Structure 1
């Protein structure tokens, strides 16, 4: 269909070219497939979209159908993109795991510190109470009568 001229052009370039040939804007495509314009722009610039590959595949498929690009022309791109998303997903998973793991360790350290502080304060308070002397023993009897009256 678009052989020759379009052979060395990227998928994003093909989609943008076909869209323009139809007189459509990125907004038109975004409204027709119910996505934000930035997603259409990312597809045309071949940027990784931060969402599940299943959604990205659906966006590309819908866009390609709207502008008349055949499955044979965009499927190899989806296959290659799938590998990029797999490696991106694994990289993000390991980074998120490290973040979560670091937070757990920090919370455990804070918890141990608070427990140690609590135990220390308990024993210090207990020790102080046992050292207290009954003050009423030192009050003179004459003062004691005025207080009770």
Structure 2
């Protein structure tokens, strides 16, 4: 074996960058000299000698850089590339190991997230059951309170009835208004047995006098009530001085609008049968009738002739005509 072959023999256990670096140093060359000869940056030579190869560069540029570097320092490029591939496989295996560990970590985190989700669901169910139990207790308490209040009201009513039963007829008549006293006196007299003593006769006479007095007061008050009712009757429309009375009676639905001499709207809208209109204002009036065939009008107590307006057409006119 020649000396040149011994020089080119390199141990495959060493990485490609380390082989090139050792060879360069044995030749006394600097990284700057190698970079200038290969027309590369010094940083690229440093990355190669430190075995910092990016995965993308291994497939494209790194092999070319290593071949050029090996030729420059006199190494067999096959040995250098073999060392590169050997250590690249180790690197790939390490990456796969890291990926597997990362996958296990991901599965573990996913498992933990499922446990956390299940825990939250159980907590929500417990809170919901507690809320339902509390609401049911509140409803039962409310029902118990209502029942107790009802029982108290019933007891109070029973006590009131007992008190009313214990009141004598005379006390009941004395505390009753004068309007209903005669009726109550009569019912009491009818319900009691016939008098048998002189004291009962005098009491009956007093009762009769009370009944007569109340009846007399009621008969005296009746005319006054009639007079008040008569006075409350609404008077007819009063026409102020300088204004004119306009009346409308409707036999069918009709939309109307009436404006006075100042353009002020006196009435507007739809009127139905029976909804008569009486208004007073300053003439002349501008009148619009949607269905004039169903309207009867008087202006200043004089009838207004609407026979000239055909059915189904809107009537527009000014009063007086």
Contact 2:20 2:69 survives alignment (8 Å): yes
Count of aligned pairs: 125
1:24 and 2:24 correspond: no
CA contact (8 A) 1:15 1:67 kept: yes
2:63 matched residue in structure 1: 61
Secondary structure of the structure 1 residue equivalent to 2:133: helix
Residue in 1 that maps onto 2:109: 103
Following TM superposition, the consecutive aligned residue runs of length 4 or more in structure 1 with deviations greater than 3 angstroms are 17-22, 33-37, 39-42, 49-52, 54-60, 68-71
Is 1:71–2:73 an aligned residue pair?
Answer: no
Q: Deviations over 1:3-30 (max 9, x none)?
A: 43352353333321355544216xx69x
Equivalence map 1:1-149=2 (5 Å): 3-8=5-10, 10=14, 11-20=16-25, 21-24=28-31, 32=41, 39-40=47-48, 42-43=50-51, 52=55, 54-56=56-58, 60-61=62-63, 63-65=65-67, 67-69=69-71, 71-132=77-138, 133-134=141-142
Task: Point out where structure 2 has 5 or more consecutive residues left out of the alignment.
Answer: 147-321
1:83-111 Cα distance to aligned partner (Å, 9 max, x none): 31332233222211110110000000000
**Higher strand proportion (structure 1 or 2):** 2
CA distance in structure 2 between the partners assigned to 1:63 and 1:16 by the alignment: 13
- Larger helix share, 1 or 2: 1
Q: State the Cα distance separating 1:36 from its structure 2 match.
A: 10
**Mean alpha-carbon deviation: is it higher for 7-16 or for 120-129?**
7-16
Closer, same or farther: CA 51–131 of 1 in aligned 2, 3 Å: farther
Unaligned runs of 5+ in 1: 44-48, 139-149
Higher CA-based Rg: 2
Kept in 2, the 8 Å contact 1:19–1:67? The answer is: no
Tell me the alpha carbon deviations over residues 95-134 of structure 1, each in whole angstroms, 9 at most, x when there is no partner.
Answer: 1111011000000000000000001101101211221245
Whether the 8 Å CA contact 1:33–1:62 is kept in 2: the answer is no
Q: RMSD of the TM alignment (CA)?
A: 3.6
